[in-house]
Structure 1
Amino acid sequence: MSSFKSEPFLWIHLAGIVTFPVFLGIVWFGLSVSDRLPILWLEILLMVGVGVLPIFLMQWARPFEIFSLLVLAMKPDKITFQQRQILSLFKTPRQQILSAATALAMVGILYGLYQLPPLTAIASSVLTQSRFVGLLIASIAFAAANLFLQVPISVLGVLSTGEQQFAKIEPYPTEKIPQDFTLTGFRVDKIIPIKPVPPEK
């Protein structure tokens, strides 16, 4: 059987981390619009509530089901034996610890963004001085940044598993995938036209 580390979906979602700094740049831009609220921590708590908690809770309770791409997701009954073993790794306590650590790191990153000088001149030339608009842009971008950090970090946690350890992993039950994982998009039989390698008997 081929190594689980050659699974294309793992590397596709790991590569999503390249968008992380782009979304952070958008967050900085959004925060630069208009004057900041008098109570800094109130604004940070709002940003954390919108941009960190939902993604963290998803990864903690119902991890993102990585066998999907854009608006397409593989039907649970089309996911192979090896792929279901990979899904089992996403439900381990270690993955929850990684999710919690990533969420805390995102809070620290958000605080760091607040310490940067605002892009006032650029922001004011593009948008009207509306704090609501700025916060909306920053919150949405921060949620996207969190997603594109949380998922790759969880993928790294899976990739750090040894081959011998992986061989002992039980595949995740097909019938439990929809209730225990977050599936997005239209469900299809196949996304990547690669013939799966059957497990060894």
Structure 2
Amino acid sequence: MRSFWLEPFLWIHLAGLATVPIWLELCWLGLAVGDPVFPVWLEIFLVATVGIAPVLWMQLSRPFNIFSILAVALKPSQLTLNQRRLLSQFKSPANQLVAVLAAGFMLWVLWLIYQAAPLAATVTPLPPEWRFAGLLIAALAFLASNLFLQIPLSVARVLLTNEAAFSATQPCSAEQIPQQFTIPGVQVNQILPPEISETSAISPNPLEPINAAIEAPASSD
């Protein structure tokens, strides 16, 4: 097992992938409201622009700082050396390529959803006259689906990094993190409980926390 797999924030954000179908279904229901008021290409363009462009721009220019949950984020000064190495991995060309490919994939998915929207016309909760509201809901839901796809995919790509490449990664400077990454919410000194933070601390030897736990009772006698 790679040592950085012990970092809980990686797995927390990877789990966000499970919400993508929910957001896409909400987008589908929004597109099913009423009849098109604009040409098909224009409606798809508007929803795609709102849904894809902000997230893609973020991932290409200032990647999402994974050391955050909801509206709180760890202060850059609180990040360990290896956590800053992980952040450097999110700035790699490989992650940027993943972001572009994911955006193209989601554009294709939006086209399929738009084509299938009439099938949901009888189950969408809004009346047909609310087409503009439906488009707004679809755009915001598509934005959320892109966010919860792009971040887990970037995490998955980092998880595939081999141990040697990770160890050779130049860590980000704590002072540069606010300029190089998107940090959501309020910055705090701690998010996860101390017990989780301590047992999941990244070390060169991934078995070190286990060995320490085994040897602790013996040393206390």
Q: Report % sequence identity.
A: 46
Return the letter of the residue paired with 2:70: L
Number of aligned pairs? 197
Decide whether the 8 Å contact of 2:7 with 2:201 is kept in 1.
no
1-side partners of 2:159 and 2:201: how far apart? 19
**Aligned-pair RMSD on alpha carbons?**
1.4
State the Cα deviation string for residues 122-148 of structure 1 (Å, max 9, x = none): 22xx22321110001000000000000
Provide the C-alpha distance between the structure 1 equivalents of 2:147 and 2:80, rounded to a whole number of angstroms: 25
Deviations 1:134-165 (CA, angstroms, capped at 9, x unpaired): 00100000000000000000001100100111
* Structure 1 contact 64–183 (Cα < 8 Å) conserved: yes
In the superposition, the TM-score normalised over structure 2's length comes to: 0.86
Distance in structure 2 (CA, Å) of the matches to 1:117 and 1:26: 11
- The structure-2 alpha-carbon separation of the partners of 1:198 and 1:150, relative to structure 1 and needing over 3 Å to count, comes to closer
Provide Cα deviations, 1:163-198, integer angstroms capped at 9, x if missing partner: 111111111111110011000111100111212647
Aligned residue identity for 1:73? A
Residues 28-177 of structure 1: pairs in structure 2 closer than 5 A: 28-118=28-118, 119-123=120-124, 126-128=125-127, 129-177=129-177
Separation in 2, partners of 1:117, 1:10: 35
CA distance in structure 2 between the aligned counterparts of 1:96 and 1:198, rounded to whole angstroms = 25
Q: Which residue of 2 aligns with 1:11?
A: 11
In the alignment, structure 2 segments of 5+ residues that lack a partner are: 205-221
Output the CA distance in 1 between the equivalents of 2:139 and 2:110.
11
Task: Describe the SS at the equivalent of 1:18.
Answer: helix
Distance in 1, matches of 2:172 and 2:202, equals: 16
Alpha-carbon separation, structure 2, partners of 1:43 and 1:197? 47
CA contact (8 A) 2:13 2:152 kept: yes
Give SS of 1:187's match: strand
Alignment partner, residue 185 of structure 1 = 185
The Cα shift of 1:49 comes to 1.0
- What is the distance in 1 between the residues matched to 2:136 and 2:60? 25
Corresponding letter in the other structure for 1:83: Q
Q: Which amino acid aligns with 2:89?
A: L
Match of 2:171, SS state, is coil
With structure 1 as the length reference, what TM-score do the two structures score?
A: 0.94
In the alignment, structure 1 segments of 5+ residues that lack a partner are: none
Q: Give 2:208's aligned residue.
A: none
Judge which range, 91-100 or 113-122, deviates more.
113-122
Deviation at 1:6, TM superposition (A): 1.4
Q: Is the 8 A contact 2:31 2:117 kept in 1?
A: no
1: CA distance, partners of 2:38 / 2:68: 42
Q: Secondary structure at the match of 1:173?
A: coil
